[in-house]
Structure 1
Amino acid sequence: MTDTTPQATFADLGLIPTLIERLEELEYRQPTPVQSHVIPHILDGRDIVGGANTGSGKTAAFALPILQKILSQGASHPRGGNFVSHLILVPTRELASQVANSVKSYSYHLRDKVKTIAVFGGVSVNPQMLALRGGCDIVVATPGRLLDLVSSNAIKLEQVQTLVLDEADRMLSLGFTEELHKILALLPQKKQTLLFSATFPEKVTSLAQNLLHDALDIQLQSAEDSTVVQRVFSVNKGQKTAVLAHLIKQHQWRQTLIFVNAKNACNHLAQKLTKRGITAQVFHGDQGQGARTRVLEEFKSGEIHVLIATDIAARGLDIEKLPVVINFDLPRSPADYMHRIGRSGRAGEVGLGLSLIDCDDYHHFNVIEKKNKFKLEREQVEGFEVDDAQSEACVVPVKPRAKPAGTGKKKKKRKQGDL
């Protein structure tokens, strides 16, 4: 589906004045394309398969209709018995916290009428169990912790009216398939299901086909719609850190998010940047939840200017007006490339996504371009030009050495190779 809808207002979408008033306070001036397409159909009770670029406003697209549904029911569906009415499943702790905070913000004037709780691992389960007592309107959960709470009888899913699967592709790629099917088996047959994903690999497509009923498929992903300017710099092997430090100092970005592929690489790069006069903090899975929360809060507030992270920050990290994201290491999955750079350029702001590639990365970046359907010019940083020998090696494939002639072994090897 292409976006041909004229620019609408939130009132045009059928939202009630109480919610519109709150959106005005939050300076949500006009609906994003995904909100314009999705909200009216959710209000009509349709199942939705939604695809949209990261940072496109899809949290509001599903949260606002859910809040309106709760208000329209009034006292006809009172809370009680540890039941939850609306369930939002997300892949990471950070995204659970972020989505729940957004829902609470949208329902600020309704806080006495709407109870929203985020539940996720990495922290004590007891406060979450206490918060869930007496039932809950909206629960935002990671799959593992939700199942823990179900097994402890702290939450019941038999009365769920709306199920939202947010970042479905990430949920399945992180290995939550088994947990997800266990949760689905606990839910009532009759419910509204909303599935959102930035990419649609085979697992996500299969899940949507089996789970949703007469779903409306709304696909709004488009490279042209992205507000992130993408650039790629070729560098000599062993010079990535020097080029990175040079770029940070030269441009003096207000904040910089740098992605690497391993936990120990975060600390290693932070130490190397420190030696070059740049203070950086790290964000990875080996940190406790308290430390991760603190780092994110300090980065969001601007106290941290340079953050080095693994892919746990590629989803659910919403930093207002983040100017630049840098791929120090290329993501292993081409799909994660778009999620990484999508941390910048959110909510219509112009952002910058930079990638540093050396000879070893050249082929993989070609794959990323092909999978994501774009092509970028290979640039070089002044003062760090790529050596001629390395430049040729990146472009010209190395010819395999000719095999020596043999009498029978050559034929045997060819046969084994064909197998």
Structure 2
Amino acid sequence: MDISPSTFADLGVPAPLVDELARQGITAPFPIQQATIADALSGRDTLGRGRTGSGKTLAFCLPLLTRLHQSGGRRERFRPRAVILVPTRELANQVCDVLTPLADALDMRTAVVYGGVSYNGQINAMRSGVDIVVACPGRFIDLMESGQIELDAVEVTVLDEADHMAELGFLEHVTRILDKTPRDGQRLLFSATLDRGIDKLVRKYLQNPVTHEVESNEESEAAMTHYFFNVNQGNRFDVISDLCAAPGRSLVFTRTKHGARKLTAALVQAGIPSVELHGDLSQAVRARNLAALSSGKVDTLVATDIAARGIHVDDIALVIHADPPEEHKAFLHRSGRTARAGAEGTVITMVTENMRRHVKRLARDAGIDPISKTVTVGDEILTEIAPGERQHREMPNLEERRGQNRQGQGRGAPRQRNRNRGGSDFRDRDDRGPRGPRPERGDRPFRDRDDRGPRQFDDRGPRGPRPERGDRPFRDRDDRGPRQFDDRGPRGPRPERGDRPFRDRDDRGPRQFDDRGPRGPRGDRNDRPARDDRGPRQFDDRGPRGPRPERSDRPFGDRDSRPGRGPSRGKGTDTRGSASRGSGPRQRSAKRPARSA
């Protein structure tokens, strides 16, 4: 007889959290939540293994919040009580979106920390005091080493998608962070696999963990239908665009960032509104493009493997592998963007002739049995998989209008302008009243500037003696009075260059060189007389010099003592500052008392 808990309340989740889940329409726990929540609530270290979309986020968020709620700890500046480490910014935002409304129900504060945005907002959040930090390891290390985060008060540490953090090279950062947390704190680790060093992480940092693994590959793939479409380079794009033009959201994966940009531009040109997602985009653009897909402004997202993990958009009906990935793990993570949480989904892999052997190996390693078809545009199978009328429309404008609130845009969350402070009074444009039609530039009357009157420069008076530069008082230049330029008198019109008379230079008269007198004939060089009549050169007025001492007997004189010479500017006399102006966070004073928020 099955007596497993059937509700969150049965699992021991507090009533405020149960009510918030019910408000979101979540009433029954998923298998991985049933398996892990009870052990995590008891304080045991937990290792959870489940596929993407199986409900792992709530599986660690609910016990984490419950533990903090029951411990009754106080929120303090720079000292979070729980840390959740994730590999990507997108996953950090997704986890925070799930966590924040639940934390609000228990009057707890959360903060998200990752790179690509300004430090200021994240430092201010730490200074104000937070209970839970969701972070990527790189930026978290920066704040930790600068003293903006202290980990001695951490009660629970969560590692989500630990295998992906290992793939991205974050394991060293993760170990440095875990070394700073209390050894008696609780640790929850979720990973699809235990390779790439994750097993060593488990052995070192998890104490006698309980392991829960739910959903085998066969069970997880049951709601997902796989197709391998044999295409050629000539009709590959036509097949992709036909599928994306059908109603519903599509997610298309490419191998490279250049391929994502190129395919997105081609789809937009074909009348299929699409956005891209890859590592070359700023965080602001990535967030904007994801929001465009979630809001329905566009129905197609073209992405690299950056979106294979941590991107959750509801109702992705179709995943297309425009370029098959290199390994089966990436294939499964890409495909896991559809058929999430028990829903159904379709995955299509485009197979060109040179990729057929590779995709067969992918299917074998991933444990799937795809339906293989040779297709061209117009085949019935395309409308069977993606039914509905094909829609073509213009790409909507995704740029936000100036003045709108920008969530997570730019370099960190921008500050909201205080409308009560002094400065310009910006009124709503609706209260200006009509301005009337404005004439074209060519119809506007030209106003002569000469009707302004002459400038007044004639009231200066005598200036008097001028003091030395160092003795002069500093005067505002506005008290000098206007400059006088109006005593010249009118100059009259100046004729055009072509109307000026040409003056012959010969009327200037001859140059006066005739007062020299005749020079006489000049003989050959050898016939010229010697200039011995000049007398000897005059060097005899110096006086006797006296005996000159030997070189070693001469006194050594510093050249800087010569008259008219300034001090030497050697290497040691450079007075310019040499402190680096790095872009990292400033060090927080270690003597500052940690006050309660």
Give the TM-score taking structure 1 as reference length. 0.86
Displacement of 1:383 after TM fit?
4.9
Name the counterpart of 1:349: 343
Change (3 A) 1:244 1:44: same
Counterpart code for 1:86:
A
Displacement of 1:271 after TM fit?
2.3
Q: Between Structure 1 and Structure 2, how many residues are aligned?
A: 376
More moved, 361-370 vs 280-289? 361-370
CA distance in 2, matches of 1:223, 1:47: 25
Displacement of 1:229 after TM fit?
2.2
User: Is 1:302 the counterpart of 2:300 in the alignment?
Assistant: no
CA contact (8 A) 2:77 2:126 kept: no
- Tell me the secondary structure at the aligned position of residue 122 of structure 1: coil
Higher relative contact order (CA 8 A, sep 6+): 1
Name the counterpart of 2:93: 97
CA distance in 2, matches of 1:384, 1:208: 52
- Alignment match of 1:205 (pick from 175, 199, 205): 199
Displacement of 1:151 after TM fit?
1.5
Name the counterpart of 2:142: 148
- Tell me the secondary structure at the aligned position of residue 190 of structure 1: coil
More moved, 186-195 vs 220-229? 220-229
- Tell me the secondary structure at the aligned position of residue 107 of structure 1: helix
**Which protein is richer in helix relative to its size?**
1
Give the TM-score taking structure 2 as reference length. 0.61
CA distance in 2, matches of 1:265, 1:382: 22
Deviation digits for residues 94-130 of structure 1, max 9, x if unmatched?
Answer: 11111012111223322xx211111000100110000
CA contact (8 A) 1:56 1:347 kept: yes
User: Is 1:8 the counterpart of 2:2 in the alignment?
Assistant: no
Displacement of 1:72 after TM fit?
1.2
Name the counterpart of 1:240: 236
Deviation digits for residues 211-240 of structure 1, max 9, x if unmatched?
Answer: 211111111142333332222212124432
Structure 1 runs of 4+ off > 6 angstroms?
A: none
Displacement of 1:379 after TM fit?
1.9
Displacement of 1:90 after TM fit?
0.1
CA contact (8 A) 1:235 1:380 kept: yes
- Alignment match of 1:229 (pick from 225, 230, 243): 225
User: Is 1:70 the counterpart of 2:68 in the alignment?
Assistant: yes
Change (3 A) 1:61 1:281: same
Deviation digits for residues 305-337 of structure 1, max 9, x if unmatched?
Answer: 111111111111111111111111112232111
Identity among equivalent pairs (%): 37
CA distance in 2, matches of 1:238, 1:197: 40
CA distance in 1, matches of 2:13, 2:285: 38
Deviation digits for residues 51-79 of structure 1, max 9, x if unmatched?
Answer: 111111111111011111121122xx212
More moved, 261-270 vs 235-244? 235-244
Name the counterpart of 1:394: none
Deviation digits for residues 262-300 of structure 1, max 9, x if unmatched?
Answer: 111111112222343323211111111111111111111
Counterpart code for 1:12:
D
- Tell me the secondary structure at the aligned position of residue 112 of structure 2: strand
- Tell me the secondary structure at the aligned position of residue 48 of structure 2: strand
Deviation digits for residues 170-227 of structure 1, max 9, x if unmatched?
Answer: 1110111221222122222111111101233242222222221111111114233333
- Alignment match of 2:161 (pick from 147, 150, 167): 167
CA contact (8 A) 1:70 1:114 kept: no
User: Is 1:329 the counterpart of 2:327 in the alignment?
Assistant: no
CA contact (8 A) 2:32 2:54 kept: yes
CA distance in 2, matches of 1:65, 1:181: 23
Displacement of 1:5 after TM fit?
7.5
Name the counterpart of 2:285: 291
CA distance in 2, matches of 1:337, 1:166: 19
Deviation digits for residues 111-160 of structure 1, max 9, x if unmatched?
Answer: xx211111000100110000111432111000000001112211111221
Counterpart code for 1:46:
R
CA contact (8 A) 1:198 1:221 kept: no
